[in-house]
Amino acid sequence: MKNYKALFIGVNRSYTNPTAELNILILGQIFNLSFYGPGFVSDDILNLGINNWIELNEKFDIIFTDSYIFEQENIINRKNPFSGDFIRFEPTDYFNHAQSLQKFFLNYKEKKVFIANFDTYGISIDMIQRLVDSDSLIIDGGISTNRSKAEVEEIYKSKCYGNDNWYSFVKSYKSRIISVPHFISISEFDFQPLDKRKYLFNVIGAPYQERKKAFELLTPTQKIEKKINYYLSSIKSRRITKLSFSDLTILRIKYLNEISQTKLCYCSGGPWLSPVRKYFEIPARGAVALGWPCNGFENLGFVDGYNFISATSNLKIKEVLCNINYENIQSVAVNGRSLIWEKHSDWARAIQLLESFQLILNNKFNGSYWEKGIYKHF
């Protein structure tokens, strides 16, 4: 499909979670992809304005944007809009041009796609209406991974913040949803066997309620190391307004290495049981993922005891850790990595999305979803 021209409208940024960059790389594998926005074009082209720039170019078959343009007013109103990003532009370029880029996307009458790389559980009714009115397709985790707030609270046995706005939107407009869960670059995979790893058990990521509880099972040394690292990172995050490239590189390497040193790594999606990237990162790094089955668990291809170990309490985790059969858990690790490699790697996602975009460009797309680890179309 390289004979089809696509345009990504956005900002040139990198985050510790590389999903935003990987989305663009996938699109670049499928289309003849161009870019417009802060950090992607020169100051002269940016100041020319997207409407004037578009007139100087051949027609694009499809355009894309993400949350940094679609919800630009929310980004601008943040205290430190780019505190977690390594950005390749001056913030003033964003402040001066984001609104016009948003307006262009919303008013564009041809094929367009919004990449929903933001927290959807707290989305406002106004933002939902903007999505409806935009008439754009949406790249999202997909309807096979969504549950209502009441369903999640019943499973999680606790109240969760946010609302059902996104759930209701996706349910009502499933024909516009391109189901794209997180995926892993082939460069992120690790094939080291479990018996070469330092830690038996580890907990990574933001301190969700259930992760704090699982933290109690770490060794005293691990607890001290994590508390020190968390304290130092908290101090640093308060001092900086944006990441340097070296900061970003160190964070990514340190994070991936921590998984690679672990035999069994705790996995959870927080109060909304979301299929966060850890469900894909942990198996890809060759560790055994154990913890909470996420929304869409079986549809994404996960099977308890085969490529994931379900353990939703410290008691269950202890049972697993105290009764380890290394031959069995190595098999679980291999099966988990194989699932991610075959179904949720960047090369696999490119093949899946190629089929979707062929349907889209031929006006035959009615939404996509996951079922038993298979990517399907309605």
Residue 80: pLDDT band by 50, 70, 90 thresholds? confident
375 φ, ψ to 5°?
A: -85, 125
Structure-token pair, residue 172: 């009502």
Of 145, 148, 78, 154, nearest to 116 by C-alpha is 145
Contact 308, 284 (CB under 8 A): no
Q: What angle do CA 255, 258, 263 make, to 5 degrees?
A: 140
Least confident of 71-85, 223-237, 301-315: 223-237
pLDDT in tens, 108-134: 999 999 999 988 888 999 999 999 999
Q: Does the pLDDT at position 362 exceed 70?
A: yes
| Amino acid identity at 136 | S
For 208-354, strand residue ranges (E) read 262-267, 288-291, 309-310
Q: Does the pLDDT at position 215 exceed 80?
A: yes
| Amino acid identity at 109 | K
Q: At what angle do helices 91-107 and 125-134 cross, to 10 degrees?
A: 60
Query: Which pLDDT belongs to residue 152?
Result: 87
Domains in the chain, please, with CATH? 5-183+345-377 (no CATH), 186-343 (3.40.50.2000)
- Please give the mean pLDDT across all residues of the chain: 93
Instruction: Tell which wins on pLDDT, 190 or 147.
Output: 190
Contact 30, 3 (CB under 8 A): no
Query: Which pLDDT belongs to residue 243?
Result: 81
| Amino acid identity at 364 | K
Which of 12-16, 57-61, 251-255, 263-267 is the most confident on average? Answer: 263-267
- Distance, in Å, from the CA atom of 56 to the CA atom of 59, rounded to the nearest integer, reads 9
Task: Over range 94-100, report the average pLDDT.
Answer: 97
Query: Which pLDDT belongs to residue 241?
Result: 64
Query: Which pLDDT belongs to residue 205?
Result: 85
Any residues with CB less than 8 A from the CB of 293 and at least 6 apart, and which? 273, 302, 304, 308, 310
